[in-house]
Chains A and B, each alone.
Chain A
Amino acid sequence: MKFPDWYLKEKERARLKLKDAKPAKYGLDFSLEEYQREGERFKKTNSLRELNRTVQERIENVGLRIDEKQRSGSHLQQDNFTTYLNAIKGYLPEGVVVMDTDEAIRKFGWLKDYYFKIMPKNLNKYTTFVNAYSKGGVFVWIKKDIQVEFPLQACFYLKTSNYVQIPHNFIIAEANSKIHLITGCVPDKECRNSAHIAVTEVFVKEGAEVTWTMIHNWNKDSHVRPNVGIRVEKSGTYISNYLLTSEVKSIQLYPTAILDKNSRAIFNTMLFCRGKSSIDAGSAIYFKGKDSQGEIKAKALILDNSHLAMRGNLSGNKKCSGHLECRGLILSKDAQAQAYPNLSGSEDAELTHEAALGKIKNEELDYLMARGFSKDEATSLIARGFISLNIPGLPPAVNKYIKEVIDLTTRRSI
């Protein structure tokens, strides 16, 4: 099946626009021209168990279950090719469609009405780039009234060096449906100078609930730009959990939710800022409908020589309520962090924020040491408590991995 005309024309126009596209407002700017977009085609995989053990471990650390237990389905994209798709019998209801985005665009003509309908096409050169060259991505469509019990898991795996992965993802939750999507992004250990430039558009329709847990574990030379736009219709709920566990060359994300009447959005962000990472992470909620509610909670452990900008924006002119919290624990004298909490509202909007950056208080360390813990152990315990994850459905491997990361990074920081 061929791509529809509208899509081919759209790509063509975007390619012409690309040379004048402007850098992003936030985050480090880098050139997209250095990366190859075409690569070797990957063989399909019949089972996640067929992947070699090192790959499996890396995938597990970003939230996927190799055994697919307590999952309703799995999707695996290697470089720009979907190599595994599995709807688990008895767990993935019939009304849920999971497929490669390119295939969905060929199959569903109506997708034209969703394509770049939340995310502005030319927000910056990265969104234009995705419009011009996107390949693959995961398309999730949950039909009306369908509630999916177990999470659906998706993985973006980067194998080839000097390569850019360019997925365009869609999550479309029809009225009163419910789903939890866990996506993990991770490159191969040997993959050098990779980039991941993505656009994800999330449509939460009336009364629907979408939870999206995203876990990132990059290589120290990866550039990452996940651009996410969410629209939550009347009485809908969107919950985002984002976790970054590794060093990264640069990452910039600013998922933005637009809320209709009586709907709500919650963003939980947890960041390990390691090595020489340059991280610009924020979230924004626009309260467009009356009685909408939102919360942004971001926590970061700021280590080594990393640099972090934490952003948060709540903006509402109707009767709405929102709270924004940015907290950074700085564990290295060479690390730097800034917090930019921003509120904008009219009389009926109840918007609050708190922001705090600083090191662990000596008082807290002394307290834990008086319980017999060494300074290292105390630091690690405090860091673990600070970053504690409370996301249902994550495999034990993730918590174990996070504990290892905390023990490793805090030990080094002292």
Chain B
Amino acid sequence: MEVKDLYVQVGGKRILDGINLKIKRGERHVLMGPNASGKTTLALTIMGFPQYKITHGKIIFGSKSINNLTIDERAKLGIALAFQSPPKVDINFGQFIAEIEAKFGSPRKRQEVSRGSPPTTELPWWRTKFGEEVEDFKYRNLNDGLSGGEKKRSELIQILAMRPEFIILDEIDSGVDVDSLKLIGEILDERDESMLIVTHYRHILNYLRADRVHLVGLGKILVSGHPDKILDSIEQYGYREYLKRLGICKECPLKECVVIE
């Protein structure tokens, strides 16, 4: 996944101002930054939401530009997004997972076929993986009456059912209690997929190891580097002070992203 010199407008307003980002297969990158810095915009632009208009630059997945692909075409290529605030939809959760599996092929079924064992009537994989708390999801409609943590679990189950290659997590850790955060982090940490993790807090990174952190501000990636080198400083100083210390501010335009290894 590569984002090349990307400029994006929303409702005529420029939000992203030349973003460059390269995530190699299997890597996990974190996007941090103050509110309204453009983190979610980047995530949703990669997914292809039509209200995010690319005025310049390219998004490359595999070896091809996906700029002109629709949301569903991108999903079918292997890009999956866990939404920050998923909408309520009148579709039964269990049936929806079955629909997704029918589209992308169920991992369980494939395994069973290869092992030659008969299909089981056991609990669905997501129930086994996510524990008892998701038991009653099968009676519910999508995101209907779910708590913050439950919504995030539901998102995760959906995207794992898609068997993606590249996962975008838009604040998978917001509104989630400590136990859920641990569960979500650990489940994700076992995965091989490449990830783009949009977050405000470093807590999830205690469970989900990341390769790189990018600090977004002013529509650009201002700082990139190893998590250990960046996270402590952000926590200590806060975004504004941290950037100031690096000599980055609104009035002093930046030529290149500061890289901290």
Contacts and interface: CB of A to CB of B under 8 A. Distances in A.
Interface of A: 361, 363-364, 366-375, 378, 381-382, 384-386, 388
A363 B49 CA distance: 10
B72 to A, nearest CB: 4
B92 A385 contact: yes
B71 A369 contact: yes
Contacts of B83: 367, 370
11 contacts: A361-B87, A366-B49, A367-B86, A367-B87, A370-B72, A371-B75, A371-B158, A382-B91, A385-B90, A385-B95, A388-B92
Q: How large is the interface on B (under 10, 10 to 19, 20 to 34, 35 or more residues)?
A: 20 to 34
A385 B92 CA distance: 7
Contacts of B158: 371
Interface string B61-93: 000000000111001100011010011011110
B34 to A, nearest CB: 25
Contacts of A371: 75, 80, 96, 100, 158-159, 162
B90 A382 contact: yes
Question: Most B CB atoms within 10 A — which of A364, A371, A386?
Answer: A371
A364 B104 CA distance: 20
A130 to B, nearest CB: 38
Interface of B: 47, 49, 70-72, 75-76, 80-81, 83, 86-87, 89-92, 95-96, 99-100, 103-104, 141, 158-159, 162
Contacts of A382: 89-91
A372 B90 contact: no
Given A361-B87, A369-B70, A381 B99 contact: yes
Contact of B91 (A366, A369, A372, A381): A381
Nearest to B81: A370
Contacts of B104: 372
Given A372-B162, A385-B92, 14 more contacts: A364-B87, A366-B71, A367-B89, A369-B75, A370-B47, A370-B75, A370-B81, A371-B75, A371-B159, A372-B75, A372-B103, A374-B72, A375-B72, A378-B72
A385 B141 contact: yes
Nearest to A372: B75
